[in-house]
Amino acid sequence: MDQDGKPPLVRTNRFLGLCLILGLGVLYVWLIQDPNFDRKLYDGFSLGFFPTLSVALMAVFAAVLLFDSHSGEEAANGPLISGGIIASVCVVGVGGFVYAYLLPVVGYLILTPIYMSGLAFLLGMPLRLPTIVGVLATTLVIFTIFWTLGYPLPMGILDF
Amino acid sequence: MFPQPEAFIDALALVFSFQTLLWTMIGVTIGVGIGAIPGLSASSGVALMLPLSFQLGIAPALGLLIGIYKGAEFGGSIAAISFATPGTPAAAATVYDGYKLTERGKGRKAVLTALYASVTGDTLGSLLTIFVAPALVLVALKFGPSERFWLVVLALTLLASLGGRHFAKGMLAAAIGLFLATIGTDPISASPRMTFGLFWLEDGIYLPSLMIGLFAVSRMIEDAVDLLKERAKSMAQTVDVEAFSKGFDKNDGLTFREFLTCKKEVFLGFCIGSFVGMMPGLGGTAAAFISYGVAKQASPEKKIGTGVIEGVAAAEAGNSATVGPALVPLLAFGIPGSITAALIGGALTYHGAIPSPRMFELFPHVVYSLFLILIFANFINLGIGRLFAFVYVRLAQVPKPMLIPAIIMIAIVGTYSIRGNIYDVGIMLFFGVVGFVLRRLGIPDAPLIITFLISPLAESSLRRALLITDYNWMEALFDSGLSIGLFIATIVFSFVFVRMRKRENFSAD
């Protein structure tokens, strides 16, 4: 914060608006590279009309962020980049994608307890008996529900 | 045309079948649990169960989702009363009197008051829905393409204005939703549009992936960030059993006469909650606080705010009375009035009953089923709440490091199981990160998701209007008094809300 108690420019809505406008400009340039973007449809609109309209509207409201009464306020109610955030995105996002990718290969019954226990441990839960029991119980309950509905989950290496 | 008595009989058979009753009970049971756990909400629960609902028939699916919605609205009060931590945002107003009652050893009385007020407000709101929605449909059927276009624009303006303190961010969220809705296939020519060369985007962004990502996974990422920051504290998390036991005296029940002393507050909650529920963008939280504030002003002798059951009743009746009325704009106009209504609309669409004024004509048995479920799910909520509310208090103590993996696993498995498509999971996780970033930046998610759902309606209405009028824009957009009126209402509301926000900011300074 500066001497007046205002946040620095890079943390304000004004800077957010500026970044959004620049990003939207890049997005629009990328969109118009599509050869079908200007293709005329039988009702007179081009294929790119509504995407352009949406990008334009985003740019208009991003521009409003530069000037409105909240422009000098903090844009974010917490850090956008930190070690914890990167770790969470990796653990939840990347880890989740890997889990989904391996699901048909390894199988739900084997992979899910490993995934859930690993994630719980990374988030600070000691791997004691109550945790293991909770993980196994959740795995079995979800398996039973889907099996009852007639949508069995992948068995993977247990599929024999 | 409605009422079609034979459709009502079909609906009775659909709703009072073992499967529908069972799934409604499951929905309420899950919903109360979800509401009781701080950090989750009705929309998260409904989003998580959406893939499951696709695998059921339409009546059991509605029973499941509406059960979750109703259960969560009551369930939020359990943590609010027990631990001064609202289980859902809509239960925040319940904390003021609820927790004070617990501190005086009257927690049991407070939870029972919350349950009865919630069920009463919800039932009255659902009855109102049953009468109002068909009446509005008669108006909606007179809407042509240009009226529907301006109605969507008005709804989005209201949503952006009412849904947060920063109008520009609300409208930015709506514009993002519009952009996402253009991905997939052009609705008139069926040509691939904005697919970025990816074949798996040709059907558009898969709705369950978007919903689950934005509402469930993003919250789990947020919780994971907090946990990783405070890892030591989370490992030391324990239940203060002594404090909990002191707050809940088994002998301290709630008599019918005691509940009757809250009748004014419950009625106020029903009136305010029903009105607020029909307005896009406001929702249960606003209804609860407005009901609480009005009840406090209306009966100063009751000393609401000092730990009285009337305060709990006003807040809970207010937030629960929004449940049915939030479906009114969805059923009458095809425009969801809340995120949860949007999710239920998504489930209806998946089952082929697209929410619109014509739904009453084309799928009257679905409409009747919805009405019946809205009513009888309240009785199931009452039963489960009465029997298990104090069990759910324990559930609210489940450590977050156990809860987060379970929810993420359910989200991934649920999304993957519908089409067996890994890209659906990828989209879900991507929107989980996007939802987290949007929340950090104070960009509301309600305008985004509702615009995503209804902008195809706006686009096809506009293009149809232009085709009809041979591309005369003025005639297409302003061909009737009603469309001009809706246009003027949009301008006026935008102006009024911007002025209101400016005044609020000026007062705050």
Say if residue B496's pLDDT is above 80. no
Whether A54 and A89 share a structural domain? no
B442: amino acid identity, one letter? G
Based on the fold, state whether residues A16 and A55 are members of the same structural domain.
yes
| Helix locations, B236-352, DSSP H | 241-247, 256-260, 263-278, 283-298, 309-320, 328-333, 339-350
Rg (CA), chain A: 24
Among A40, A67, A94, give the residue marking a domain's end: A67
Does the beta-carbon distance from B182 to A20 stay under 8 Å?
A: no
Chain A hits for B401, Cβ within 8 Å: 120, 123-125
Out of A67, A97, A116, pick the residue that ends a domain: A67
* The predicted structure's pLDDT at residue B239: 45
Contact by Cβ (8 Å): B102, B247: yes
Q: How confident is the model at residue B234 (pLDDT cuts 50, 70, 90)?
A: very low
Q: Give the residue from B448, B169, B174 showing the smallest Cα distance to A14.
A: B169
Tell me which residue in B56, B168, B440 faces A61 most closely, judged by beta carbons. Answer: B168
B468 touches chain A (CB under 8 A): no
Give me the pLDDT at residue B232, please: 46
pLDDT < 50 positions in chain A: none
Q: Are residues A149 and A88 in the same domain?
A: yes
Domains in chain A, number: 2
pLDDT at B276: 86
pLDDT tens per residue across span A47-65: 888 899 999 999 999 999 8
State whether A89 and A147 are in the same domain. Answer: yes
Residues contacting residue B214 through CB under 8 Å, at least 6 positions apart: B47, B431, B432, B434, B435, B438, B445, B448, B449
Do residues A93 and A153 share a domain?
yes
Same domain for A92 and A133? yes
In order, the DSSP letters of B76-87 are HHHHHHHHS--S
Residue B33 CA to residue B29 CA, distance in Å, equals 6
Q: Tell me what the mean pLDDT of segment B26-33 comes to.
A: 92
DSSP symbol at A89 = I
- Given an 8 Å threshold on Cβ–Cβ distance, is A142 in contact with B409? yes
Q: Is residue A1 part of a domain?
A: no
Least confident interval from A123-127, B236-240, B368-372: B236-240
Task: Share the mean pLDDT of chain B.
Answer: 84
How far is it, in rounded angstroms, from Cα B351 to Cα B193?
A: 25
A106/A146 same-domain check = yes
Q: Are residues A107 and A148 in the same domain?
A: yes
pTM: 0.81
List, in order, residues 6 or more apart from B203 with CB less than 8 Å away: B184, B185
Same domain flag for A88 and A63: no
Are residue A116 and residue A151 in the same domain, yes or no?
yes
Same domain, A17 and A58: yes
- Residue B385 in this model has a pLDDT that exceeds 80: yes
For residue B406, which residues of chain A lie inside 8 Å, CB to CB? Answer: 116, 138
Please report which residue ranges of chain A form alpha helices under DSSP H: 13-31, 49-67, 83-88, 95-106, 108-122, 129-148
pLDDT over 70, % of chain B: 91
In a domain, A77, yes or no: no
Q: Residues 400..439 of B with a Cβ closer than 8 Å to A: which?
A: 400-402, 404-406, 408-410, 412-413, 416-417, 420, 422, 425-426, 429-430, 432-433, 436-437
Range of the domain at A36: 9-67
Of the ranges B288-297, B314-323, B378-387, which one carries the lowest mean pLDDT score? B288-297
> CB A123 to CB B193 under 8 A?
no
ipTM score = 0.91
* Residue B476 pLDDT > 90: no
> Is residue A105 located within the same domain as residue A149?
yes
Q: If you average pLDDT over residues B51-62, what whole number do you get?
A: 90
B471: left (phi over 0), alpha (psi -120 to 50) or beta: left
pLDDT > 80? residue B27:
yes
